[in-house]
Amino acid sequence: MEKATKKEFRLENLSCANCAMKFENNIKSLPNVDAAIVNFGASKVAVIGNVTVQDIEKAGAFDGIKVAPIKQRKEEKTAFFKRKENVVTAISFVFLVIGIIASFMYEETHPLAIGLFVIAIVVGGYDMFKSGLLNLSRFYFDMKTLMTIAIIGAAIIGEWREGAVVVFLFAVSEALEAYSMNKARQSISQLMDIAPPSATVRRGDHLVEVDTEFIQINDVLIVKPGQKIAMDGIVLKGASSVNQASITGEAVPAYKTTGDEVFAGTLNEEGSLEVKVTKRVEDTTIAKIIHLVEEAQAEKAPSQKFVDKFAKYYTPVIIAIAFLVAIVPPLFGGDWQTWIYQGLAVLVVGCPCALVVSTPVAIVTAIGNAAKQGVLIKGGIHLEEIGRIRAIAFDKTGTLTKGYPEVTVVESEHPNDFIQKVMSIEAYSQHPLAQAIVKYGKAEHIHALDVDDFQSITGKGAEGTVQGKKWSVGSVAWILSIITVPTKVIERTEQLQSEGNTVMLAAEDGQYKGFIAVADPIRTTSTKVLEQLKVAGIKHTVMLTGDDTRTANAIAAKLGMSDVEAGLMPEQKLTAIKALKEKYGAVAMVGDGVNDAPALAAASVGIAMGGAGTDAALETADVALMADDLEKLPYTIRLSRKALHIIKENIMFALGLKIIALLLIIPGWLTLWIAIFADMGATLLVVLNSLRLLKVHK
CA distances from 328 to 124, 322, 339 (A): 33, 10, 9
Task: Give the N- to C-terminal CA distance of the chain in Å, as an integer.
Answer: 54
- What is the rounded CA–CA span in Å between residue 353 and residue 357? 6
Tell me, what's the pLDDT at 298? Answer: 63
pLDDT in tens, 77-101: 566 566 777 788 889 899 999 999 9
Does the annotation mark 615 as catalytic?
no
Find the angle CA(326)-CA(331)-CA(337) to the nearest 5 degrees.
45
What percent of the chain stands above pLDDT 90?
29
d(CA 545, CA 543): 6
Torsion angle of C-alpha atoms 136, 138, 139, 144, degrees rounded to 10: -40
Most confident of 53-57, 289-293, 484-488: 484-488
Instruction: Specify the pLDDT at position 2.
Output: 47
Reduced to 3 states, what is the DSSP secondary structure of residue 119? helix
CB 464 within 8 A of CB 452: yes
Looking at residue 286, its amino acid is I
Q: In 3-state terms, what secondary structure has residue 54?
A: helix
**Residue 15 pLDDT > 70, yes or no?**
no
546 or 84, which is more confident? Answer: 546
Query: What's the confidence (pLDDT) of residue 186?
Result: 66
Give the pLDDT confidence of 308-359 residue by residue, as tens digits: 677 677 778 888 888 898 899 888 887 888 888 888 888 877 777 777 778 8
Instruction: Return d(Cα 155, Cα 148) in angstroms, integer.
Output: 11
Choose the catalytic residue: 142, 232, 395, 622: 395
Mean pLDDT of 510-518: 94
Residue 112 confidence class, pLDDT cut points 50, 70, 90: very high
Q: What pLDDT was estimated at residue 65?
A: 83
Catalogue all structural domains in the chain, each as residue range(s) with its CATH number: 6-56 (3.30.70.100), 77-184 (no CATH), 198-283 (2.70.150.10), 362-402+523-641 (3.40.50.1000), 406-519 (3.40.1110.10)
**Which tens digits make up the pLDDT trace of 676-696?**
777 777 878 888 898 888 888
Whether pLDDT at 425 is above 70:
yes
Render pLDDT for 199-218 as a digit per residue (tens, 0 to 9).
999 988 889 999 888 899 99
Distance CA 113, CA 102 (A): 5
pLDDT confidence of residue 682: 82
Element (H, E) at 525: none
> pLDDT tens digit string along 163-182?
888 888 777 777 776 776 66
The whole-number pLDDT of residue 613 equals 58
Higher-confidence position of 414 and 627: 414
Q: 536 Cβ partners below 8 Å, 6+ apart?
A: 634, 637, 638, 641
Q: What is the mean pLDDT of the chain?
A: 84
Between the CA of residue 496 and those of 488, 490, 562, what are the distances in Å?
12, 10, 21
Distance separating alpha carbons of residues 345 and 277, to the nearest angstrom = 62
pLDDT tier at 633 (50, 70, 90 boundaries)?
very high
Strand partners, 267: 228, 243
Q: Which of 46-50, 70-74, 694-698 has the largest mean confidence? A: 46-50
What pLDDT score was predicted for residue 643?
92
Q: Report the alpha-carbon distance of residue 643 to residue 439 in Å, rounded.
A: 45
* Backbone Cα Rg of the chain: 33
Of 56, 14, 10, nearest to 32 by C-alpha is: 56
